Structure 1
């Protein structure tokens, strides 16, 4: 699974693609009384500060559970409940797990959720939350009680939009995924409510226009950064004062892209392969960049002379 991502590393915002299938995951036995059918292991986990550690993990995926498994080891750090039949959470039981920081509730039957303000990471893929109905649009302050949350995954929920205050209250959020939804535009107004956001996943959405504008920390557009956005016809990356490099293959597989706006950045050149990889491209705008007229950029002048 490929994800279009924005990552802040050492105060530098970098657009990149995370190929999760390439990650190597190891695990060790965790010798505790494990709930029937579950697997208890020590697995790698990265803290919000990107520090690797071993996390006591209880994996109860794909067990057709209708209620939380019991007994849960009191030292549980990560609880995975993906692909079950859960429709409600027994939050008092979760509160007996003082070290619980990550909860995966993907592909269940939840109609509402509460009492999870202590979590750092929450996965809600493929649920049907009536607390945020209509599902097509996230309403105001639907996550206001999750002030400690660092990571939120809302994939495969049929979302078409967000209200301006939909993400209000998520003051600690650093990572947000809208993978595999129906967003046609970037929810810019809602994202402005997330002052600490470092990672944004908009992959597998039918975006026709994408704007990455006025981002003071954006410095690099990495290889294949837009690879899973086949509907994109216009891409605006403008007014980013520190953006100085775009990978030659940053825009692979954007077969419908017609307009590429790169105004008012810090680009000294644009590689020829960047343009050649866009078969439908009709317009490129590069004004207000400190472009160098050297051999690396000579192709652009030749292309202009030939009517690009």
Structure 2
């Protein structure tokens, strides 16, 4: 008996398998006859044939192509788009079981309900992107099993209480982008799960959502709503998302407290000024967008139970302080606070954040960054990327000490003058450092800090004048952008402790010095040759090279020189010595009443004698005067002879 049952079961499974295979084979065979159903196409999706007809001149051509081509009552999804269907005939005559019907982009303004008789089994209907001015109720009554209705992008201005009453099973309704101005009470079916009313002109929801206890997704963005207080479902145990951005809302509805299942909320581009405790019990909330509002402050318990919040966007508000409101958000991965009005920020605000990937504090007015001792930053706090660009920071004050896992740090466009060793201590995972567009004059302190995996250094648009051993604490640096500074000298020892590594393989350290004075000197080629032995390539070009025929010098007055250089044995005006630049003994310029530069023995630069006993002038950088138009006078000849009687050039130690 057991063997008989076994044989029967095996036989049954074989029949089922054979039937399934035949069904698939039949479907493939049916869809293979492309020419027979032209201008339509066919493909198989499971047990359903997907038939698509596009840019057809008349429905008669569609009927001729499809009618009688398939076995009776074959499950089909029929799509007719960008076509002329003004001659639409009864669809049931095609002999198909149409479970999905899409008539899009056909300029339909009216429909004959007789053409939809026999579509009782249809579950999906899309009449989107047409010219309908009313809901086609006379058509819908022939589709009692409809679950999805898409009427988006038509011209429907009003939804009455009877328009959808013949659709008891409707779950998904799209009325987006119609220019809707009013919803009549009780106009929405009670079992709706997804509702899209976005991109309309609604000023009120008129209580139409209060009874939608099964609602899961609500799209009401881009309307003219000023309040949705007492408008959301009274009971919504499955509510997962609310998209209400781009309205005129001034506050969050208190009904949100009764929706603990909400996963995502979008209230950006409104005029919300405070949260009023509406999110205190949002235990399952993961995504919250409140950007582009008018939030001025947060309260400490605004997110008291929102422990699962992962993405929070508070950018483009007027926040001056966070008041510890984020302290419970330990699961945060993306925190956006850009374009606010915070003048101070403490790392205490993100203490205990163990999964924070991006913290964006850019475009504020932050002048003070505190919470700088290791004890204040919890050992579990980790941030992969910290954005502090476009603030007013003059110093980091060691605030980042102990901030673990930092991968990328951007402090560009601030007022930084110096990077101290304490600023970068403990940032062992830092790979990208951007300090561009500041007032930094030296990177000397970076040589005292060890950043073992730093790969990119961006320090362009600063006031750096020389490079000495600045890279000695950057052993694997591969990219250094120092363009648009004032660098006149580079020590060859800059890169002796640095070897660019790309996936463990030695690469080339690329140093960008575009628009720096050093590129205008004759020693630049020699510099690049010497750097090559350390697998270093220097890039850039001289931008402000002066033509020898143009008289456009920078004049350095004696009074300024005393402020620039300390008193000593010599004064170096230019650290790069070009041909024609001479060393002028001080004794050759002694006035009967006072010395030219007291305390300096030699001057490197170009001296132009003064006229009529006046003090000579130093030009920096050196210039070439235009050729004289006539023979010089005896006095001028004596002056020129005096200039030529000088000491030899001084070869610089540092290039």
Root-mean-square deviation (CA), in Å? 4.9
Deviation at residue 206 of structure 1 after TM alignment: 2.1
Are positions 1:180 and 2:390 aligned together? yes
Asked if the contact 1:83–1:108 (Cα under 8 Å) also holds between the matched residues in 2, the reply is no
- Number of aligned positions between the proteins: 249
When you count strand as a share of all residues, which structure comes out higher?
1
State how far apart, in whole Å, the 1-side matches of 2:439 and 2:312 are. 33
8 Å contact from structure 1 (residues 103, 122) kept in 2 = yes
Counterpart residue number, 2:361? 154
Cα shift at 1:195? 3.3
Aligned 8 A contact 1:265 1:288 in 2? no
2: CA distance, partners of 1:246 / 1:183: 24
CA distance in structure 1 between the aligned counterparts of 2:488 and 2:267, rounded to whole angstroms: 51
> Is residue 83 of structure 1 aligned with residue 264 of structure 2?
no
Kindly indicate whether residue 492 of structure 2 is the aligned counterpart of residue 282 of structure 1. Answer: no
2:338 match: 125
C-alpha change, 1:37 and 1:67, in structure 2 (3 Å) is: farther
For 1:102, the equivalent position in structure 2 comes to 311
> TM-score if structure 1 supplies the norm length?
0.57
Alignment of 1:232-271 (within 5 A): 232-236=440-444, 237-239=446-448, 253-254=460-461, 256-260=463-467, 261-262=469-470, 264-265=472-473
Alignment of 1:33-112 (within 5 A): 33-34=217-218, 36-37=220-221, 57-68=264-275, 75-89=284-298, 94=303, 97=306, 99-106=308-315, 107-109=317-319, 111-112=321-322
Greater shift after overlay, 152-161 or 233-242? 233-242
2-structure distance, mates of 1:220, 1:90? 36
SS at match of 1:143: helix
CA separation in 2, counterparts of 1:290 and 1:158? 38
If asked which structure has higher relative contact order (CA below 8 Å, sep 6+), I would say 1
Give the structure with higher Rg (CA): 2
Unaligned runs of 5+ in 1: 1-29, 42-55, 130-134
Q: Structure 1's 245 and 226: CA in aligned 2 closer, same or farther, altered over 3 A?
A: closer
In structure 2, stretches of 5+ residues that fail to align are 1-192, 195-215, 223-240, 244-262, 500-525, 533-537, 539-575, 578-650
Over 3 Å counting, the alpha-carbon distance change for 1:258 and 1:270 in structure 2 is: farther
Mark the CA change 1:239 to 1:297 in structure 2 (over 3 Å): closer, same or farther.
Answer: farther
Q: Which residue of 2 aligns with 1:53?
A: none
For the 8 Å contact 2:412–2:437, the answer to whether it is kept is yes
Structure 1 residue 81: deviation in Å?
0.5
TM superposition shift of 1:281: 0.7
1:98-140, CA deviations, whole angstroms, 9 ceiling, x for partnerless residues?
Answer: 64222122223455533433321433334456xxxxx3x556x
Whether the 8 Å CA contact 1:239–1:263 is kept in 2: the answer is no
Measured in 1, the distance between the counterparts of 2:322 and 2:481 equals: 45
